[in-house]
Structure 1
């Protein structure tokens, strides 16, 4: 009778002598990650699953793998002392705190722990380290890499190109649920290309090696050491170079990479909406949210902590730094917050903010005096309607007879191509006429106001059906509507007005030629890979946004050195604010010669945590907006910063030398 086979001993721990012979011939790590492949004819050489890229070896060491399932292996990342089961090794090593990565800079062969990657680049390769966002110029014709720090996490960015496309990959060193947006802009153009919600993949040194791209890598276990073009073929985001050229011409182009939170999936909502119906978005858009955040920030610091009423000049504060309104100050000798003495110390900085904000509020579009629209009688612009109406009644007429072409707050239409129509949009209590047309090369759009509207601009976005790709035209100017110039029936060839002279064909060409916004049709088709796209038009009160930005910027500007003030923000006994650096060098206030006794400006200090400032180069098409602590560093290195031109005398002196 045969004896039963005894059960194998599970989780057998290998000795150091055994482990020495069980190493991958490529990366010299333990043979602890499947699949294990035999790489030599005599069976003495094997490679592990970490190096499982394409190869001619097809013989799998199945017998070894079955035995290895009963063993325990140490982690390959030294000095990690974890002893792991066969099935747990791969996941542990991927997230191990002792995992090291080879520095990707050409002349640096140091291996760094993943959590120390940012500090290494900050110390050794500062020019390749970016904070919050990464801005590069003309990289569509080059290859390179950079490290982006966002929320204390490191992201490795690789970019490359061929004759047709530009490619980009963003890799995270740690697990993340973030995505990235790519914005392409040009200082000389108001157009921009945006590619949204692109995936961020987990960094793997074997596949994402910049030295392999350069052809100087010496690591045999890197998959693309001898196949540089394979790295480009695997890149996650690609942009057609011809699309960039047709959109911006031969001007310099800037690429901005931003790490973002992944948006909530809206497919279920989209399924409920008729794809051909026109949508009106009543909710706030991004620009209105910025205006709301700006206003809330300024309103919050202008509230008296004692009575919760709005602060108005004169604004006082205790000797420690807590504000109080003039009404609450009467009859009070000590601060209710810190019990410090209340004297005659003012807060001139907040007084200036209160006065400036009041001036901005009186200039809101809905609060501005309504212009008297002339009672000029025109024929309804709609193609099949010949009813005579006055300009001031055009919105009511559209609302009653052409509701499909009437919009409120925002114009949005989905899944159309070469939109060719005239619509009416009502916002800020005012009426605007939207003209859409196209020719063989471009789409054309004009937004007309019934009267001259100062401070208002519009932006138009053409986006793909999944909203991942878009071309946007920003800071577009409104034009005043003129029935003779903007006759849609003339464009159609159905106009019966004898005053509208010239032939219908030439009239349509003239109308299209005068349109404000033009976007290349072929560029949009090639980018979206479809003829269908979404149109979105938003009106923006640019003047209010810029003025609030100016107020916030001046609020944090030191009156002496003109740098941004960050806590602690100090005041003299009279009430003039200055930064801590300047206060440490002075004994008296340069404005009033009052003593500097360490009084703080707590109201402004609290605002520094919430403040978001736009880059000073906003009018140079820089869309960067960040916290107070980081805006100065960005503005110093902003690629859209205007270049200072030498004077004629300086040029002559340089020529003589």
Structure 2
């Protein structure tokens, strides 16, 4: 018998929409997308992914099934995996009305963790893994891990244990491939070096991406506040350094110093031959570092009610360059 394709009808089918094979689903799907939709349809029937359980149920009821039949593997908010050196299993987590399937496995080199969402449209969440030990002060956090859609053909723990009988499961005869595809892989030797051979606890937490972004924003805002505070303190210290010990006004070039290093403004130098702090002789030694600083530090602004005391000229603008050979005015401290 010769097989002849009816290409005309195939082209016609591509222009049509078809119903999902699951009766509860009312979605109409283009011809070429039917198989992909049915693989991820929220009304599809699955077999429990846990080893030694063969119950069938709708994917949306997996949380209820685990809560009723495998209560020790059902969690809310977050959950812990202990003794990870000899542990592999499947757990179900329910948070904010969303259901997640956690797969944990290991091979000779790595631990592997995947968090899968039963809702294929759920892309607003990520998970975090925290590793700790009672015997160690260290805490390792692995954040911003992507949650992937749950696919029972790939995420079957019967395949991992070698007990799967379903022919169309991808890794039924290739357990190692399951471990390789875990979204979070952690080197076992590194963990042993850090925590030792004792009991290790993995804590799994689900985070809303918006919450993570807000937390990062808050941290950045805090850093900016600290930075601004340090700048204000530094400016206060610089202004104190620019204050003449005699007249208490801010100094501008030229700024002189005694043999011991104590500074004095140009006006007070003309009135006093010895340092008011240590009585050392004041000659023509200039403090060029402080002079350069005085050009860069913005001095306080004054309103009309508090005009600066001006000696020998007009008030100096802090942004102006001052010729060190002249004797510019001093600005009174506010």
What residue number does 1:191 align with?
Answer: 138
Quick one: distance in 2 between partners of 1:244 and 1:120? Answer: 34
Q: 1:216 aligns with which of 163, 187, 197?
A: 163
Residues 140, 160 of structure 1: 8 Å contact kept:
no
1:126 aligns with 2:68: no
Cα deviations by residue, 1:534-578 (Å, 9 ceiling, x for unpaired): xxxxxxxxxxxxxxxxxxxxxxxxxxxxxxxxxxxxxxxxxxxxx
What residue number does 1:182 align with?
Answer: 129
Q: 1:73 aligns with which of 2, 6, 18?
A: 18
What residue number does 1:170 align with?
Answer: 115
Larger Rg: 2
Q: Which structure 2 residues correspond to residues 401-420 of structure 1 after superposition, within 5 A? A: none
Cα deviations by residue, 1:423-449 (Å, 9 ceiling, x for unpaired): xxxxxxxxxxxxxxxxxxxxxxxxxxx
What residue number does 2:223 align with?
Answer: 281
Cα deviations by residue, 1:391-433 (Å, 9 ceiling, x for unpaired): xxxx99xx87xxxxxxxxxxxxxxxxxxxxxxxxxxxxxxxxx
Q: Which structure 2 residues correspond to residues 421-570 of structure 1 after superposition, within 5 A? A: none
* Number of aligned residue pairs: 222
Q: 2:148 aligns with which of 198, 201, 220?
A: 201
What residue number does 2:83 align with?
Answer: 138
Q: TM-score, normalised to structure 2's length?
A: 0.58
Cα deviations by residue, 1:81-119 (Å, 9 ceiling, x for unpaired): 655431453565366452222211222222221221111
Q: 1:264 aligns with which of 208, 213, 216?
A: 213
Q: Secondary structure at the match of 2:213?
A: coil
Residues 131, 203 of structure 2: 8 Å contact kept:
yes
Over 3 Å counting, the alpha-carbon distance change for 1:248 and 1:97 in structure 2 is closer
Cα deviations by residue, 1:148-207 (Å, 9 ceiling, x for unpaired): 111121100111111111111100001221000000001122211110110000111111
Over 3 Å counting, the alpha-carbon distance change for 1:280 and 1:72 in structure 2 is closer
What residue number does 1:48 align with?
Answer: none
Residues 110, 188 of structure 2: 8 Å contact kept:
yes
Cα deviations by residue, 1:11-56 (Å, 9 ceiling, x for unpaired): xxxxxxxxxxxxxxxxxxxxxxxxxxxxxxx989xxxxxxxxxxxx
Over 3 Å counting, the alpha-carbon distance change for 1:76 and 1:247 in structure 2 is same
Unaligned runs of 5+ in 2: 227-232, 239-334
Residues 74, 84 of structure 1: 8 Å contact kept:
yes
Quick one: distance in 2 between partners of 1:79 and 1:196? Answer: 37
Unaligned runs of 5+ in 1: 1-41, 45-60, 268-272, 274-278, 285-394, 401-657
Q: What's the offset of the Cα at 1:237?
A: 0.6
Q: Which has the higher contact order (CA 8 A, sep 6+)?
A: 2
What residue number does 1:594 align with?
Answer: none
Q: 1:240 aligns with which of 180, 187, 200?
A: 187
Residues 207, 224 of structure 1: 8 Å contact kept:
yes
Residues 167, 235 of structure 1: 8 Å contact kept:
yes
Q: What's the offset of the Cα at 1:283?
A: 5.4
Quick one: distance in 2 between partners of 1:185 and 1:121? Answer: 27
Q: What's the offset of the Cα at 1:222?
A: 1.1
Q: TM-score, normalised to structure 1's length?
A: 0.31
Quick one: distance in 1 between partners of 2:182 and 2:47? Answer: 20
Q: What's the offset of the Cα at 1:73?
A: 3.2
Over 3 Å counting, the alpha-carbon distance change for 1:180 and 1:117 in structure 2 is same
Over 3 Å counting, the alpha-carbon distance change for 1:258 and 1:83 in structure 2 is closer
1:152 aligns with 2:97: yes
